Chains A and B, each alone.
With several copies, the nearest count.
Chain A
Amino acid sequence: MATALESQILARGYTYGELMVAAAAREIADGEFVFVGMRLPMLAFVVAKRTHAPAAIGLYENGLIRESPSPQLLYTMADPPNLRGATQCGQMLEVMALLQQGRVNVGFLGAAEVDRFGNLNSTWGGRHGEIHRLPGSGGACDIACLAQRTVVLLAHEKSRLRERVEFVTSPGFGRGNGWRVAQGLPPRSGPAALITTLGVLRYGSDGEAVLASTHPGVAVEDVLANTGWSLRVADNIAETPAPSSGELAAMRSLDPNHFWTK
């Protein structure tokens, strides 16, 4: 494992995981309320805090609100370093209430599968006929319904980026334009970005995903070949900026062994 990572780092100076975390961190604007999900986003929030978004405020579904970044790597949001010195340790209901009030600018999610319109499945997965049980929503459905913007992190595989997901755990743009409002979801909500191992997808006004950037060394064809539908490509397609030295320093000071940034 370590050698594979080392070769990535030798080749480009960073790992895929580090690139994804940096890209996720950049989705946070300074001073924003951020609903921080499990895993990579916990690291992305700290990177944002230590670089361009020092005034961002982190909300965690266990009831925690933090303005100062955790001094240590977090394996879960309830790890002791994340509680000490927090702005507030309250109830889950209280942070979810801030989300439902519309105060949360951006929320981060993971998922097993995503479709053309950004709908997420993390409950029942289907692969070549077989049904797989996945862990479930956690807070993902709540964030997907109620945050002003949602950012999803996902490994880019044809079996994960599907034309249609079998089960909509967390609604994206449903079947497209106007669908969310018709469901009764807040007007100001929905997917903003899908950050994968190959690139970054964003969403058009019709709610369909568009390839906005490819990661360094990744060809557009590779992305299309690994996507389960005919993915649209932005006219002004760009290359995902590599992690800055500041971003890498922030990540590596917390995660030198690449627990989250493989």
Chain B
Amino acid sequence: MKLPAKLMTMPEAIAQYVPSGAMVLLGAQMEQMIPFSAGQELIRQGRRDLTLVGPISDILFDQLIGAGCASRVMAAWVGNVSAGVGYCLRRATEQGIPRRVDMIDYSNFTMALALHAAALGVPFVPTYSTLGSDLLKKNGNLREFVSPVNEDKLVAVRSLRPDVAILHVQRADEFGNAHIWGSLGVAIDGMRAARKVIVVAEEIVAPEVIASDPNRTLVPGFVVAAVVHDPGGAHPSPVQGYYGRDHDFFSEYHAQSRELHDFERWLEKWVVRVPNRTAYLTQLGADRFEQLAVREHAYSAAADFGY
């Protein structure tokens, strides 16, 4: 049985599956494996009016907002995890620079539950979280109701179906079956909630490698529309077993995004003028990327699927 291969370049995948106006899930694995290379291709291709979805996104959402790609953000936290606030978010929300952005504020748990409800195929999932908060008052996708099985007050978290989920993974085969390990965040529900999935992989491996551990195949190929081989694509965020987090890069972005003209220079240098990840990594410098390389490997004990 031969399925159609889904391997394509990042420009092809973004051009084919992420139109302007789309609702896009990014950063599903929290501070690890953030698909920066995909997000920056969205900027280069000039996408507009995107709805950005993700619990937290570290500085990727801030960049997309600063580049004017987003009209709406559905998230629990937008900023710079190790360095502080996101200045592009502040300029957009406080001054409409470069454009106004509507914020639909979730908590991490309610964002996870919104994607979980969609993955389960139900209109909502109940929770006690956000009761008494202004998130509940202001976010129309959170609604208080009374439990049908007892008298408890609960919040119904409405299901959320992104048009596209972009996941950065450690390894995948050409059909999109992928192994993810380490930080999972909301990746499993997010991918099943989304209408389409783009997988960005550090490594493309033989189908036999993925099939050797079906419990680690958290992304089944049948939900995947495109597979992009883009090593280093998650930098400056880490990929367990591949490279560490470039903390300085986050601090540098913090300093260089405080003022609008500095941010515009940063964007020109790190996104607009770099056609792809290879060029990006060259500009970053082999020495600097080498600093993030794995110093000590730590391999998982084998599981025997034999019989």
**Is B29 interfacial (CB-CB < 8 Å)?**
yes
Q: Which chain B residues border A240 with CB–CB below 8 Å?
A: none
Within the complex, the shortest CB–CB distance from B197 to chain A, in Å, comes to 13
Chain B stretch 176-202: residues in CB contact (< 8 A) with chain A: 177, 181-189, 192
Residues of A within 8 A of B82 (CB): 75-76
- Residues of chain B within 8 A of A186, CB atoms compared: 128
B120 at the interface (CB under 8 A from A): yes
* A90 partner residues in chain B, CB cutoff 8 A: 184, 215
Name the segment of B39-47, B105-113, B271-279 touching the other chain: B105-113
A136 to B183, CA, bound (A): 21
Contacts A80-B238, A89-B183 given: A136-B78 contact, CB under 8 Å? Answer: yes
Which residues of A in the span 102-133 have a Cβ within 8 Å of any Cβ on B?
102, 123, 130-133
| Contact across chains for B186 and A93 when beta carbons are under 8 A apart | yes
**Do B85 and A84 touch (CB < 8 A)?**
no
Tell whether, in the assembled complex, residue A63 and residue B183 are in contact, meaning their CB atoms are under 8 Å apart.
yes
Q: Is B281 in the interface zone, CB < 8 Å from A?
A: no
A134 sits at the interface (CB 8 A):
yes
Q: Kindly state whether residue A96 has any CB partner on chain B within 8 Å.
A: yes
Is B265 interfacial (CB 8 A cutoff)? Answer: no
State whether A139 touches B107 (Cβ < 8 A).
yes
With beta carbons under 8 angstroms apart, the residue of B32, B105, B120 that contacts A78 is B32
Considering the chains assembled together, what is the distance between the CA atoms of A85 and B185 in angstroms? 18
Question: Which residues of B are found within 8 Å of A169, using beta-carbon distances?
Answer: 105, 133-135
Name B1's contact: one of A49, A77, A100, A101 (CB within 8 Å): A49
A62-B31, A62-B32 known; A142-B153 Cβ under 8 A: no
Question: B184 touching A132 by the CB < 8 A rule?
Answer: no
The contact size tier of chain B is 35 or more
CA gap between A203 and B245 in the complex, in Å: 39
Docked pose: A68 CA to B121 CA in angstroms: 26
Q: Which of B85, B121, B245 is the one whose CB lies under 8 Å from A80?
A: B245
Contact: A80 with B109, CB < 8 Å? no
Distance (whole angstroms) from the CB of A86 to the closest CB of chain B:
4
B169 to chain A minimum Cβ distance, whole angstroms, is 14
Name the A residues within 8 Å of B240 (CB-CB): 80, 83-84
Are B214's CB and A137's CB within 8 A?
A: no
Question: Which among B13-21, B87-95, B254-262 touches the partner chain?
Answer: B87-95
Interface SS, B side: loop
**Are B30 and A61 in contact, with the CB atoms below 8 A?**
yes
Residue B247 at the A interface, CB < 8 A? yes
Inter-chain CA distance A92–B109, complex, in Å, is: 8
A87 touches B217 (CB 8 A): yes
Given contacts A100-B129, A184-B154, contact A89 B30 (CB under 8 A): no
- Given A93-B189, A174-B132, is A68 in contact with B222 using a C-beta cutoff of 8 Å? no
Q: Are B306 and A141 in contact (CB under 8 A)?
A: no
**Residue from A54, A145, A167 in contact with B128 in the complex, judged by beta carbons closer than 8 Å:** A145
Cβ-based interface call for B158 (8 A): no
Q: Which B212-226 residues sit within 8 Å CB-CB of chain A?
A: 214-215, 217, 220-222
The answer to whether B108 and A96 touch across the interface, beta carbons within 8 angstroms, is yes
- Complex interface: chain B residues within 8 A of A184 (CB): 128, 131-132, 144, 152-154
- A33 to chain B: which residues have CB within 8 Å? 222
Whether, in the assembled complex, A241 has its beta carbon less than 8 Å from a beta carbon of chain B, the answer is no
A145-B93 contact, Cβ under 8 Å, with A80-B307, A92-B186: no
Docked-complex contact A83 and B183, CB < 8 angstroms: yes
- Least distance between B177 CB and chain A CB atoms (Å): 7
Question: Is B22 part of the contact surface with A, judged by Cβ < 8 Å?
Answer: no
B184 pairs with A89, CB closer than 8 A? yes
C-alpha spacing A58/B120, complex, angstroms = 18
Interchain CB contact under 8 A, B185 and A92: yes
Q: Is A160 an interface residue (CB 8 A)?
A: no
Can you name the residue of chain B whose Cβ is closest to the Cβ of A112? Answer: B85
Q: Apart from A100-B129, A142-B109, what 6 extra A-B contacts exist at CB < 8 Å? A: A65-B220, A75-B81, A79-B244, A92-B185, A100-B128, A184-B132
